[in-house]
């Protein structure tokens, strides 16, 4: 497995100004005719012309109309320098491909009878011979010939007739943004008038019968378009914006220019079929893909090492948008929970890599939490350091300077330097060095001066044993012992390995609220008493740190229960009960406060503290903690839940969603007291999927729910997206000792269509997410996962590789579990014909 390296980057030998493509679609023998308008690149290295191409049957090749002999190899086609003109020329090719047999879902494939494409990162080379790299940008003209009634590609429609359609995209783009869709589809349509008064036709294309489920996605799109104009000054730039929903998709969605393709679960929603979380995800992902039109499409990446340039920035933008649409505090807590669960976990294990890596074997393996979520955090830090005005000036300069270009992280940092005058040399380490910094805090109080000393530690990661000090913005506020804020939020800039910050003129020793808003993706190490945490939970004016205080308190208590067999702390119970019942607080915030630390999170915390986590003990202690909390709140729960009844029809907005979240958190607690009786009634009365699924999960946790599962199945048997939930809830809530048999039972059903990534993730992804079950001492969970990865790999290596990350935490566990997991990884490595994708992942985890 030879890695691709950043240091080897060279510009392409030629420039490609224009591409003409003709598709004659047929399930088993699609013909693709390409005319590439090429010219030597004066800034390129010269030499041969190398085109990428995989799995293509070459029918014909001609240069300026003269037939050319060439024999493709396994990865492409080379035309020797001697055969190439010094002036512009046209290279024509005709190839044959078989979309029906394409189960990897990369390139041109079929899903539910329709043709669709997925070209990021390197799928276009499975469509035609082409320089499939993001720094080669061209204008595309596309003709589609097919009997399918709806024929779509990028850009604007030019002409259409029976059995054909032509599209022109005026904006130069890399091949990874190419898209084509042909199917028997119907549109949910609307229109949008841009800030400068242009009319844009908006269409969401779905299968017949699904057109009534697109309203929320369309509303989210319109709000995203307006927001990008108002907040970033970015207008849409084509006459049409098309979205297509497909059932078979490896990821969430794809930002192809003017023709976004979505996993149907991120488009289709009604109150009966989608949960509040689904609605929130739909809003966020619709926005994310739309925002890529500027951050990714108009300005793209020079090479795949720069992936965070578009993904980190676009995640940052979609997080801002969701905060504006809903609640900034709740959004920030949710984002940090996800960051810690996925990115910290990645950063602390064998798969750790920099936000801008410098080598990869398979680029698809680098669509990671580090590139996306840590990439967004790095931008949040930049913004904290340069301020609102500096950020705005830098972004305006970025769009002005780099529009139409394929840019790098160096370009990105330079606009911040030029716009703000700040030197970002040291800051750049956030992009080049992996690992989650740990910041140790010590406090001193003497003669009216409060001193905070911060020390940063940078753990070694694979290939990076030593690291330089980072620039860490630490947002701090100080509270008086009576709870008043005496120093409002101030951003301290930690740039040295150890640095002290003084606060003078204070009348009494303050209580410090540190890392407000989670101002940097670090682990804070601080000796804080339970009393001080409870004080911050009660008084902190920063909502993130208010929640964080409760979270830290819960983790301390739970850790003691697991390690020492301690009792639940009465102080914690009382503090949490106060928050749960505090009607001045947003119900969504209270629901988050009531969410106990997850089992995987506790395993990581214990490992960090030098313990070997025992998944069974963690599971038992967490249940005991929930039981004690239920007892504490017993008297208040009925009133709490009754007060949260939603008036009027279902709305997927933050206010209603927050009430449902808190009421369902109450239901989960109540089931610890009544064995699930209230959940049975709640399930029977539920009139929306959020409440149905929450009640079902509670029933399964309580060891009940058989009748409800059967009723759910009978009602939703034909609905793929809803049945994914039915599969998933059973796996997530299986008792640890039953998990393997539950998965085995589900995977033998005729409707376990394992080649569909959503269904595979619903069962096999959930298997790995059931912490105590997956890590059951028998090793059955590990074996099952490896069996399924090996089965999926020949069909869909990308999804198999992504799901193998379930094994990345193996170094945390005891020697027996480590040996069991390593044996499975070695079995994977030894499998004949293993894909580059899964091979790279297993190899890195074993290294």
**Contact positions toward ligand HT7, by CB under 6 A?**
118, 120-121, 250-251, 253-255, 288-289, 292, 311, 364, 367, 798
Q: Quickly count: other Cβ atoms within 10 Å of residue 581's Cβ.
A: 15
The entry of ligand HT7, Zn ion, none near residue 251 (CB within 5 to 8 angstroms by kind) is: ligand HT7
Beta strands (DSSP E) in 630-787 are: none
Decide whether 106 or 169 has the Cβ nearer to ligand HT7: 106
Stretch that binds Zn ion, among 171-179, 266-274, 310-318, 546-554 (CB under 5 A): 310-318
Among Zn ion, ligand HT7, none, partner that 812 touches (CB below 5 to 8 angstroms by kind) = none
> Nearest residue to ligand HT7, using CB?
251
- For the bound state, the minimum distance from the C-beta of residue 314 to ligand HT7, rounded and expressed in Å, comes to 7
- Least Å distance, CB 376 to ligand HT7, is 11
CB 434 within 8 A of CB 454: no
Rounded distance between C-alpha atoms, residue 827 and residue 779, angstroms: 14
Q: How far apart are CA 650 and CA 54, in angstroms?
A: 49
Min separation Cβ 262 and Zn ion, Å: 12
From the list 232, 221, 329, the residue with the least C-alpha distance to 282 is: 221
Q: Least Å distance between CB 772 and Zn ion?
A: 33
Rounded to whole angstroms, what are the CA distances from 644 to 581, 647, 662, 692, 699?
A: 11, 9, 8, 16, 21
Question: Per CB under 5 A, which region of 222-230, 309-317, 669-677, 833-841 contacts Zn ion?
Answer: 309-317
With CB under 5 to 8 Å by kind, the binding choice for 825 among ligand HT7, Zn ion, none is none
Closer by beta carbon to ligand HT7, 249 or else 279? 249
Q: Which does 364 bind (CB under 5 to 8 A by kind): ligand HT7, Zn ion, none?
A: ligand HT7
Binding partner at 120 among ligand HT7, Zn ion, none, C-beta below 5 to 8 Å by kind: ligand HT7
Bin 242: left if φ > 0, else alpha if -120 < ψ < 50, else beta.
beta
State the binding partner of 456 from Zn ion, ligand HT7, none, CB within 5 to 8 A by kind. none
User: What residue 121 binds from Zn ion, ligand HT7, none (CB within 5 to 8 A, per partner kind)?
Assistant: ligand HT7
Give the Å distances, CA to CA, from 760 to 248, 768, 804: 11, 12, 13
The residue among 120 and 347 lying less far from ligand HT7, judged by its C-beta, is: 120
Closer residue to ligand HT7, CB minimum distance, 265 or 292: 292
What is the C-alpha to C-alpha distance for residues 481 and 636, in angstroms, rounded to an integer?
A: 30
To Zn ion, the closest distance from the beta carbon of 288 in angstroms equals 5
Residue 252 or 323: the one with the smaller Cβ distance to ligand HT7 is 252
Q: Is 810 helix (H, G, I), strand (E, B) or coil?
A: helix
How does DSSP classify residue 522?
Answer: -
3-state secondary structure 77-140: EEECHHHCCCCCEEEEEEEEECHHHCCCCCEEEEECCEEEEECCCCCHHHCCCECCCCCCCEEE
CB closer to ligand HT7, 254 vs 419: 254
Max distance between CA atoms of the chain, in angstroms, equals 88
Task: Pick one of Zn ion, ligand HT7, none as the site partner of residue 114 (Cβ within 5 to 8 A by kind).
Answer: none
Shorter beta-carbon distance to ligand HT7: residue 368 or 690:
368
Q: Which DSSP string do the residues of 566-632 spell out, in sequence order?
A: PPPPHHHHHHHHHHHT-TTS-HHHHHHHHSPPPHHHHHHHHHHTT----HHHHHHHHHHHHHHHHHH
Closer CB to Zn ion, 356 or 759, in the complex = 356
Instruction: State in angstroms the smallest separation of the CB of 4 from Zn ion.
Output: 21
Secondary structure letter of residue 461 according to DSSP = B
Question: Which is the catalytic residue, given 289, 362, 373, 433?
Answer: 289
Residue 253 or 806: which CB sits closer to Zn ion? 253
Nearer to ligand HT7, 141 or 255 (CB): 255
Integer CA distances (angstroms), 759 to 460, 562, 763, in order: 37, 34, 7
Q: What are phi and psi of 53, to 5 degrees?
A: -175, 130
How far is it, in rounded angstroms, from Cα 242 to Cα 458? 45
Least CB distance from residue 831 to Zn ion, whole Å? 31
d(CA 286, CA 208) in angstroms, rounded, equals 21
Of the candidate spans 102-110, 195-203, 305-313, 667-675, the one that interacts with Zn ion by CB under 5 A turns out to be 305-313
User: Strand 199-207 to strand 240-246: parallel, antiparallel, or no bridges (unpaired)?
Assistant: parallel
DSSP 321-369: HHHHHS-HHHHHHHHHHHIIIIIIHHHTSTT---SS-SEES-GGGG-SH
- Partners of residue 493 on adjacent β-strands: 473
Q: Which of residues 669-688 bind Zn ion (CB under 5 A)?
A: none
Q: State how far the Cα of 658 lies from the Cα of 648, in Å rounded to an integer.
A: 15
DSSP 8-state assignment for residue 153: E
The distance of closest approach from Cβ of residue 407 to ligand HT7 in the complex, given in angstroms and rounded to an integer, is 16
Q: Which residues contact 642 (CB under 8 A, 6 or more apart)?
A: none
Residue 320 interacts, among Zn ion, ligand HT7, none and using kind-specific CB cut-offs from 5 to 8 Å, with: none
For 23, 168, 309, 319, 519, the CA distances from 258, given in Å and listed in that order, are 19, 11, 20, 22, 35
808 part of the active site: no
Min dist. Cβ of residue 211 to ligand HT7 (A) = 24
Q: How far apart are CA 486 and CA 265, in angstroms?
A: 48
CB of 427 to ligand HT7, least distance (A): 24
CB closer to ligand HT7 out of 218 and 251: 251
What is 531-575 written as a DSSP string? HHHHHHHHH-SSHHHHHHHHHHHHHHHHHHHHHH-PPPPHHHHHH
301 or 549: CB nearest ligand HT7: 301
Part in contact with Zn ion (CB under 5 A); list of ranges 312-320, 439-447, 475-483, 727-735: 312-320
Q: Segment near Zn ion (CB under 5 A), from 82-90, 313-321, 765-773, 796-804?
A: 313-321
| Cross-strand pairs, 623 | none
For 250-298, what is the HEC assignment? CCCEECCCCEEEEEHHHCCCCCCCCCHHHHHHHHHHHHHHHHCCCECCC
**Out of ligand HT7, Zn ion, none, which partner does residue 247 contact, by CB within 5 to 8 A per kind?**
none
Q: Binding partner of residue 632 among ligand HT7, Zn ion, none, CB under 5 to 8 Å per kind? A: none
**Least CB distance from residue 795 to Zn ion, whole Å?**
25
Tell me if residue 740 falls in helix, strand or coil.
helix
Shortest reach from residue 307's CB to ligand HT7, in Å: 8
Task: Report in angstroms the alpha-carbon separations of 37 from 14, 21, 141, 197, 207.
Answer: 10, 11, 12, 35, 37
Instruction: Give the residues lining the site for Zn ion (CB under 5 A).
Output: 311, 314
Catalytic residues: 289
């Amino acid at each position: 497995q030879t890695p691709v390296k950043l240091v080897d980057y060279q510009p392409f030998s030629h420039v490609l100004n224009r591409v003409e493509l003709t598709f004659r679609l047929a399930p088993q023998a699609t013909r693709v005719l390409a005319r590439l308008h090429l010219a030597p690149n004066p800034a390129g290295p010269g030499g041969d012309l190398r085109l990428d191409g995989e799995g293509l049957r070459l029918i014909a090749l001609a240069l300026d109309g003269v037939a050319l002999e060439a024999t493709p190899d396994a990865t492409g086609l080379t035309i020797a320098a001697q055969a190439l003109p010094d002036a512009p020329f046209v290279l024509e090719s005709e190839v044959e491909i078989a979309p029906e047999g394409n189960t990897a879902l990369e390139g041109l494939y079929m899903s539910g009878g329709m043709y669709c494409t997925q070209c990021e990162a390197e799928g276009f080379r499975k469509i035609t011979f082409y320089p499939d790299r993001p720094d080669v940008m061209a204008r595309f003209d596309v003709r589609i010939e097919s009997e399918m009634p709806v024929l779509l590609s990028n850009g604007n429609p030019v002409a259409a007739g029976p059995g054909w359609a032509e599209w022109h995209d005026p904006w130069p783009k890399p091949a990874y943004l190419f898209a084509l869709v042909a199917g028997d589809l119907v549109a949910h349509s609307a229109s949008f008038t841009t800030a400068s008064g242009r009319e844009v036709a908006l269409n969401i294309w779905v299968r017949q019968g699904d057109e009534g489920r697109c309203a929320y996605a369309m509303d989210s799109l319109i709000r995203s378009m307006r927001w990008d104009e108002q907040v970033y000054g970015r207008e849409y730039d084509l006459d049409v914006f098309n979205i297509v929903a497909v059932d078979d998709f490896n990821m969430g969605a794809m930002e192809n220019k003017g023709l976004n393709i979505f996993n149907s679960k991120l488009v289709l929603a009604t109150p009966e079929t989608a949960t509040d979380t689904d609605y929130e995800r739909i809003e966020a992902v619709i926005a994310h893909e739309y925002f890529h039109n500027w951050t990714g499409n108009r300005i793209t990446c020079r090479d795949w090492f720069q992936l965070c340039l578009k993904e980190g920035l676009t995640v940052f933008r979609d997080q801002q948008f969701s905060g504006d649409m809903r609640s900034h505090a709740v959004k920030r807590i949710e984002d940090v929970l996800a960051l810690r669960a996925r990115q910290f976990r990645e950063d602390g294990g064998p798969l750790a890599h920099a936000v801008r890596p410098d080598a990869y074997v398979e680029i698809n393996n680098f669509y990671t939490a580090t590139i996306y979520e840590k990439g967004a955090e790095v931008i949040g830090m930049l913004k904290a350091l340069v301020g609102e005005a500096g950020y705005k000036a830098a972004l305006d300069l970025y769009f002005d300077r780099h529009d139409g270009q394929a840019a790098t992280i160096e370009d990105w940092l330079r606009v911040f330097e030029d716009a703000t005058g700040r030197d970002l040399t040291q800051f750049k380490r956030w992009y080049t060095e992996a690992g989650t910094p740990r910041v140790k805090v010590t406090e001193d109080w003497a003669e009216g001066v409060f001193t905070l000393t911060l020390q940063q530690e940078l753990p070694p990661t694979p290939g990076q044993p030593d690291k330089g000090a980072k620039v860490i913005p630490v947002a701090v506020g100080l509270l008086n012992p009576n709870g008043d804020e005496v120093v409002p939020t101030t951003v301290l800039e930690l740039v040295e390995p150890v640095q002290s910050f003084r606060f003078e003129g204070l009348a009494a020793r303050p209580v410090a609220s540190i890392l407000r808003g989670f101002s940097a993706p670090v682990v804070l190490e601080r000796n804080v008493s339970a009393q001080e945490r409870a004080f911050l939970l009660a008084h902190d004016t920063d909502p993130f740190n208010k929640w964080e205080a409760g979270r830290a308190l819960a983790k301390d208590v739970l850790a003691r229960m697991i390690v020492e067999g301690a009792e639940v702390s009465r102080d914690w119970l009382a503090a949490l009960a106060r928050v749960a019942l505090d009607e001045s607080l947003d119900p969504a915030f209270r629901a988050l406060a009531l969410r106990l630390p997850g089992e995987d999170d506790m395993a990581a915390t214990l490992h960090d503290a030098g313990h070997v986590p025992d998944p069974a003990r963690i599971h038992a202690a967490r249940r005991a903690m929930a039981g004690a909390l239920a007892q504490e709140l017993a008297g208040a729960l009925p009133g709490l839940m009754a007060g949260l009844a939603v008036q009027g029809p279902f709305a997927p907005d933050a206010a209603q969603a927050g009430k449902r979240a808190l009421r369902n958190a109450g239901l989960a607690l109540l089931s610890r007291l009544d064995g699930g009786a209230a959940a049975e009634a709640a399930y029977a009365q539920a009139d929306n999927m959020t409440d149905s699924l929450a009640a079902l999960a509670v029933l399964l946790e309580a060891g009940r729910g058989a009748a409800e599962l059967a009723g759910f199945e009978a009602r939703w048997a034909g609905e793929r997206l809803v049945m994914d939930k039915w599969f998933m809830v059973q796996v997530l809530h299986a008792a640890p000792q039953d998990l393997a048999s539950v998965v085995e039972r589900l995977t033998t059903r005729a409707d376990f269509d394992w080649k569909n990534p959503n269904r595979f993730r619903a069962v096999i992804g959930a298997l790995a997410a059931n912490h105590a079950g997956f890590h059951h001492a028998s090793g059955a969970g590990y074996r099952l996962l490896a069996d399924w990865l090996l089965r999926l790999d020949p069909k869909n290596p990308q999804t198999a590789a992504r799901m193998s990350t379930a094994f990345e935490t193996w170094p945390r566990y005891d020697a027996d579990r480590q040996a069991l997991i390593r044996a499975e990884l070695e079995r994977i490595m030894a499998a004949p014909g293993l894909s580059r994708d899964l091979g790279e992942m297993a190899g890195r985890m074993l290294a």
